[in-house]
């Protein structure tokens, strides 16, 4: 009987430890994210699937998804990335990654990437943005940590 409870308890603990929030977002040829807002639980693992659902060539319409640290504005960060030399092949210069919580690479048409990260322990709002040159004006959203 004790063993039975131990098994139940350990599988329960295991499922808590493995709680993963899955989020799917895509970007398209109209410079739009499919989601403007998503929610995660503080401290929980997040599996973010990002897809470039467009068909235009990557050099003209590549997309990435960059989640920023709390308090960093997507607009300001987009400008900063441009000044740091963001371009159509390297949209997220290393020198600005200090402001970043998680990011995907720049994806071409039909490409998908899954990134895993741990949600911040502190509830709050994190803006996200595509840093392909010029896209930050339209491709923005927020991740709410609850």
Q: How does 4-43 read in b/e, with b if 16+ C-beta sit within 10 Å? A: eeeeeeeeeeeeeeeeeeeeebbbbeebbbeeeebebeee
Does 135 interact with Cu ion (rule: CB under 5 A)? yes
Give the separation between CA 87 and CA 131, rounded to whole angstroms.
9
Gyration radius from the chain CA atoms: 18
Q: Pick the piece of the chain touching Cu ion (CB under 5 A) from 47-55, 78-86, 95-103, 137-145.
A: 137-145
Binding residues with Cu ion: total (CB under 5 A)? 5
Q: Which stretch binds Cu ion (CB under 5 A): 18-26, 68-76, 109-117, 136-144?
A: 136-144
Give dist(CA 20, CA 40) in Å, integer. Answer: 9
80 binds Cu ion (CB under 5 A): no
| Binder among 130, 136, 140, 143 for Cu ion (CB under 5 A) | 130
Q: Which is nearer to Cu ion, 77 or 132 (CB)?
A: 132
Is 51 a residue that touches Cu ion (CB under 5 A)?
no
Among 63, 80, 126, 140, binds Cu ion (CB under 5 A): 63
Closer by beta carbon to Cu ion, 27 or else 120 = 27
């Amino acid at each position: 009987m004790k063993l039975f409870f131990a098994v139940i308890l350990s599988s329960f603990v295991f499922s808590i430890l493995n709680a993963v929030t899955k989020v799917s977002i895509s970007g398209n040829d109209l410079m739009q994210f499919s989601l403007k807002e998503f929610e995660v639980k503080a401290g929980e693992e997040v599996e973010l699937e990002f897809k470039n659902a467009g068909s235009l060539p990557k050099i003209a319409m590549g997309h990435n998804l960059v989640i920023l640290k709390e308090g960093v504005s997507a607009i300001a960060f987009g400008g900063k990335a441009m000044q740091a030399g963001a371009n159509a092949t390297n949209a997220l210069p290393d020198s600005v990654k200090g402001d970043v919580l998680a990011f995907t690479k720049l994806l071409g048409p039909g490409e998908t990437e899954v990134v895993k990260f741990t949600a911040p322990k502190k509830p709050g709002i994190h803006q996200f943005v595509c840093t392909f040159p010029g896209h930050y004006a339209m491709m923005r959203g927020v991740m709410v940590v609850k």
